[in-house]
Amino acid sequence: MDDFKTLIQNNNYQNCISIEDNNGIYFCKLSNYDESNIFILINFIRNIDTVMKIHIDSTLAFLELTFDSKINMSNCVFEEMLIFRKCIFKAKVDFRESTFKKKVNFNESSFLEKIRFHSSVFIKTVSFRNTTFKELADFWNVTFTDVQRFYLTDFLGVTIFSHVTFAHQVQFIYNKISKDTIISFENADFKQSLDISRANFWCKLNFWSVKINYLPTEIWLYQTDEIIESQNTNNEKAYQVLRETYRIIKDVFYKEGNNIEAISFYMREMSAYGKELKVDNGKNKIEERTSLFFNKISNDFGTSWARGLLFVFGATIIFYSLFLIFLWDEIYYLPTEKGVASFFRHFFEFLNIAKWDIKPFGITDYNYSYIVLFIGRIFIGYGYYQTIQAFRKYGKS
């Protein structure tokens, strides 16, 4: 470390580069510098130590500049804002393992070569409005700790969001892609869901092993196109965009032949639609709500055959009990072994929708009870159908 300090003094950088000690962990601190020299200072440090953290304690603002050479701002801690507005980057850019404590602005900038943000942390929102990534944009293992939006952001090459953590809401809105675009969200973790309903992602997408909070507690961002927290309690639009997002992801998995994940997102799509209908003010959608309700309780939108069987037996118990109540005055029942056997035999006759000429306890004329039998058979038959559909879920396409 003494050699490092000597080099700093020999190059007359002692007024803008200092070595700090944080409990035995050394880092460089930049201060009192001219913005035009920031890259020279960083390169000087990187030629000596490639991994030492560099703390930059004031705002950096670069406006309407063209960078012809490679920029390496990896392992940096930006204590204040970082702004690259209307800039053109003609060579590679690295922000690996950096921490951005304040807002970052890349608005209207173009990255013509690869840019990497490996394992970086954005504490505040990053603005990529009208930003263009022509080649690789690599956000692998990045953490976005605030609400995040990619608005009018162009992804023209390969874009990696693998293993990314979005701690709050995230939107992709009105994006531009190319025939070469590939966007991967493999193993990404969306703590408050996401909105790609208007992303224009007509390209190769990868959502393998993503984690999504499919009914998030924070949804105000999904009501508008602005990062302004809304007090509006009518979340119909929010659930609409979430439903469309899950539909898009579902279709991606179906196209890949991954029916297991596709069915999972079909369930999320239907659940979001159910939430949407609940907040649908004044519109007459009782039939749809009823249909969603029975699809939910009968097989969890085609994902649970066990729930289908429970629905069948539950419906049978309810309607068999009503059936016997209407016949109560005509039933002579003894709690003997034969009587108990008769009770269960008639229960399973009720369960058998192919058998209509049942004679419970010897009664052949049961008038109004027949209506209960008829309605009960409708529900039981529906339960059988839903059970079969759930069994067939992995064969859907």
- 160 and 275 both lie in a single domain: yes
DSSP 182: E
Q: What is the layout of strands, in order, in the sheet containing 93-94?
A: 71-72, 93-94, 115-116, 137-138, 158-160, 182-184, 204-206
The pLDDT value given to residue 200:
96
How far is 139 from 144, CA to CA, in rounded Å?
10
How far is 11 from 70, CA to CA, in rounded Å?
23
- 207 and 274 both lie in a single domain: yes
CA angle 373, 374, 376 (to 5 degrees): 65
- Provide DSSP, 19-42: EEEETTEEEEEE-S--GGGHHHHH
- 385 and 250 both lie in a single domain: no
- 240 and 388 both lie in a single domain: no
Helix (H) or strand (E) holding 325: helix 305-326
Neighbours of 96 (CB within 10 A): 18
Q: Name the pTM for this structure.
A: 0.81
> Pick from 250, 276, 299: which residue ends a domain?
299
The pLDDT value given to residue 194:
95
> Pick from 299, 314, 347: which residue ends a domain?
299
Calculated CA dihedral for residues 284, 287, 292, 297, nearest 10 degrees: 130
- 88 and 39 both lie in a single domain: no
- 145 and 228 both lie in a single domain: yes
How far is 155 from 178, CA to CA, in rounded Å?
7
The amino acid present at 132, given as its one-letter code, is: T
- 198 and 258 both lie in a single domain: yes
- 315 and 350 both lie in a single domain: yes
- 344 and 218 both lie in a single domain: no
Could you list the residue range(s) of the whole structural domain that residue 244 is in?
57-299
- 22 and 104 both lie in a single domain: no
- 175 and 274 both lie in a single domain: yes
The pLDDT value given to residue 397:
47
Name the domain count of the chain: 3
Q: pLDDT above 90 covers what percent of the chain?
A: 50
> Pick from 272, 299, 326: which residue ends a domain?
299
Closest-CA residue to 160 (of 177, 178, 142):
142
The pLDDT value given to residue 112:
98
The pLDDT value given to residue 233:
67
Q: What is the block-wise mean pLDDT of the chain (397 residues), using blocks of 10 residues?
A: 74 80 82 83 88 91 96 95 97 97 97 98 97 98 97 98 97 96 98 96 96 90 82 81 96 92 91 84 69 85 85 89 75 60 76 75 69 86 87 60
- 24 and 84 both lie in a single domain: no
